[in-house]
Amino acid sequence: MHSEQQPENTDVIVRRGTDCEKWDGMAQVFGRDDLLPMWVADMDLPAPPQVVDALKNRAEHQVYGYTFRPDSYYQAFIDWNRQRHHWQISPECLSDAPGVIPAMALCIHTYTAPGDQILIQTPVYRPFFDVVTDNKRKLVTSPLVEDQGYYQMDYDDIAQKFAQGVRMMILCNPHNPVGRVWTADELKRLGELCLAYDVKIITDEIWADLVYPPHRYQPMAAINRDLANQTIALLAPSKTFNIAGLHNSIAVIHNKDWKKQYDQALKRAHLDFANIFSVVAFTAAYRFGGEWLDQLLGHLKSNCHQVTAALDGYGGIRIRPPEGTYLLWLDFRSLGLGQDLIIKALVEHGKLGLSDGRSFGREGDGYMRMNVGCPRSMVTEGIARIKESIAYLTEKAE
């Protein structure tokens, strides 16, 4: 990345008027369109210049006919994972997917039947709930255990629920919204339970690349051969390179029978197509985006730090810096005011749009999720708006 393209120096790019969910869609969610939106998980930052150039080149060709994903597309993903994560993936394990959540839905259809139990760990990204219930499977939740803002898995609870007949679990690694980057030991312990109870693991690793050292992303499928065979990993360049609107993702399936079933289902649903722009962006991002990502991570980490330094302890708010993601999980519980009042103050007084913690499950009551994937000036503004909201609430309470 050239110095003038560093996120720190990036002027705010006006996104209003581009039909983007975060800005143009805010009225639908918040009932007004004059908020600073720090909710939807994409970034108010430009994609890597190499991706932008590749897209421009492709657009200039002027012919946009049918395409397929060439070998170089898969190779870019394989090389990226070998170099950055020491994860060796062979091309035979790769399958296509039009998005991580659509692929999850396809897995649910392929490997389970209506009424089957599927476990998720809450609080978690809302579509994990919906993809299970929309497809008429039975949702089983295992709440993460929180201690001073640090979340861990509840293995006893998971084992107990697995013993009651769970067929599949959907893992979020790293975890949105609590910002944990699960360690190899944690994943191994969970994986052993999955093997013992023959629970299929669908692991959503869309946040894999947005991890702050010394924390390290551990692919579930790279722990050992047994777990590779028990796992379907879903990944995408969407979050890492801010190209979520191109809607493209990839599945890693080591188990040959499961891969065959998945590929057949993809074909049956006629979802085995490729979009030329997403293929071009995916390849350029994984091939050339490493240096850009390293700089982005520095920027995001300092955004997280800025918010934590300014707001942890402020008016009773608690925040712990995330190990990965650009999402902060703000704990307002000690204010004892109730979620509706906090949201009202943030929206009506602070003019700030954060994600309601309750959308991540009942354990999210009292929390708000703040997206700091944006230029520094927006983070500063977001902090000021939270402080104003708190001041307003405190005044009201007196």
Ligand X SMILES: Cc1ncc(COP(=O)(O)O)c(C=O)c1O
> Which residues of this chain interact with ligand X, rule CB under 6 A?
41, 99-101, 125, 172, 176, 204, 206, 236, 238, 244, 249
d(CA 30, CA 318): 24
Residue closer to ligand X (CB basis): 112 or 371: 371
Minimum distance from CB of 149 to ligand X (Å)? 19
d(CA 338, CA 222): 43
Of 125, 179, 213, 123, the closest CA to residue 319 belongs to: 179
Residue closer to ligand X (CB basis): 206 or 345: 206
* Neighbouring C-beta atoms of residue 313, cutoff 10 Å: 11
Minimum distance from CB of 181 to ligand X (Å)? 13
Q: Are 232 and 168 in contact (CB under 8 A)?
A: no
Beta strands 166-172 and 200-204, pairing class:
parallel
Residue closer to ligand X (CB basis): 104 or 393: 104
Minimum distance from CB of 176 to ligand X (Å)? 4
Residue closer to ligand X (CB basis): 121 or 249: 249
Of 226, 142, 153, 158, the closest CA to residue 183 belongs to: 153
Q: Are 124 and 360 in contact (CB under 8 A)?
A: yes
Residue closer to ligand X (CB basis): 204 or 390: 204
Minimum distance from CB of 104 to ligand X (Å)? 8
Q: Where are the alpha helices (DSSP H) in 112-234?
A: 127-133, 155-163, 184-196, 225-229
Of 286, 300, 272, 307, the closest CA to residue 381 belongs to: 307
Bond preceding residue 114 cis, omega within 30 of 0: no
Minimum distance from CB of 247 to ligand X (Å)? 6
d(CA 343, CA 355): 9
Phi-psi region of 62 (alpha: psi -120 to 50; beta: other; left: phi over 0): left
CB-hemisphere CA count at 13 Å for 143? 9
User: How many residues are listed for the chain in this entry?
Assistant: 398
Minimum distance from CB of 371 to ligand X (Å)? 9
Residue closer to ligand X (CB basis): 204 or 323: 204
Residue closer to ligand X (CB basis): 166 or 235: 235
d(CA 393, CA 218): 42
Measured in degrees and rounded to the nearest 5, phi and psi for residue 307 equal -70, -45
Residue closer to ligand X (CB basis): 112 or 249: 249
Minimum distance from CB of 279 to ligand X (Å)? 15
**Measured torsion, CA atoms of residues 285, 13, 42, 314, in degrees rounded to the nearest 10:** 130
Residue closer to ligand X (CB basis): 240 or 303: 240
Minimum distance from CB of 172 to ligand X (Å)? 5
Minimum distance from CB of 128 to ligand X (Å)? 8
Of 222, 235, 233, 241, the closest CA to residue 290 belongs to: 241
